Amino acid sequence: MSARSAAERHPSSLGGGARRRARPLALATVVVAVGLLAALFAFGLGRNPDVVQPVLVGRAAPAFTLARVGGGAPVSLSSLRGQVVVVNFWASWCTDCRVEQPALASLWSSFRDRGVVLLGVSFQDPASSALEYLRSSGSSWPSLADPGSRTALAYGVTGVPETFVVAPDGRIAAKFIGPVSYGQVADTVTRLLPGGA
């Protein structure tokens, strides 16, 4: 009985030839699979997943009409067509916003007489905190309230500070993520002004 079972379990050597023929095919499959994986890894490792391409640059800036923080006449982006507009999203709870405050103040004092408009847009901030921040920081440019973050969402804001430069034709010329330096924004603004490089 046991001898017969053994004979049954020991089927044949017929598959040997087929197995030998299948070996190069299996090897080729493994080599191709490993090659594809290596190519995929090489492609993935060459990219920084944290870098998100600013998709809005070169496109029309999303329109908005927002009330000023603390009251006053609402400001509409469309009414500023023909001027360079710098839109800065900020919040009172954002430490980087305090870091860039002097650069923005310098920008405002240097370019406001050349027709450049600087607009702050408060991001996820209670009106009282925003107002208190504006008073303490001494910023003199208009800051706007953005209820429900509708404008921030239209501009694809992922955090603060973020700054957009809108060209006179209404297109977004540049987007800066994080605190800006005076030079960064001034260079862009100067290029967009009449007679700019």
Partner 1 sequence: MSSAAGAGRDGAVPPEDGRRAAPGGAALRRSGALLGLVAAALVASGALLAVGLRGPAAPTTLGQRVQAVASGLRCPVCEDLSVADSPSALAGQMRASIAADLRRGMGPAEVRRQFVQAYGPWILLTPPRRGLALVAWLAPLGLFLAGLLLAAAAVRRWLRGSTPRPASAGTSPAPLPAADRALLERALAAAEDE
**Interface residues with partner 1 (CB under 8 A)?**
1-4, 7-8, 10-15, 18, 52-53, 55-56, 59, 62, 124, 148-150, 152-159
Shortest Å distance, C-beta 153 to partner 1: 6
C-alpha gyration radius of the chain: 30
Residues, the chain: 197
Residue nearer to partner 1 on the CB measure, 60 or 82: 60
Q: Tell me the C-alpha distance between 187 and 185, whole Å.
A: 5
| Residue closer to partner 1, measured from CB, 56 or 67 | 56
Considering beta carbons, is residue 100 or 146 the nearer one to partner 1?
A: 146
Q: How far is the CB of 170 from partner 1 (least distance, A)?
A: 15
- Nearer to partner 1 by Cβ, of 94 and 103: the residue is 94
- Let me know: does 94 contact 125? Beta carbons within 8 Å: no
Task: From 52, 53, 58, select the one nearest 166 (Cα to Cα).
Answer: 58
Min dist. Cβ of residue 71 to partner 1 (A):
23
CB of 109 to partner 1, least distance (A): 31
Q: Where are the alpha helices (DSSP H) in 76-195?
A: 95-111, 127-137, 150-154, 182-192
Question: Measured from the CB atom, is 65 or 109 closer to partner 1?
Answer: 65
Report in angstroms how near the CB of residue 83 gets to partner 1 at its nearest: 23
Helix axis angle for 182-192 and 95-111, nearest 10°, is: 40
28 CB burial (10 A radius; 0-12, 13-18, 19+): exposed
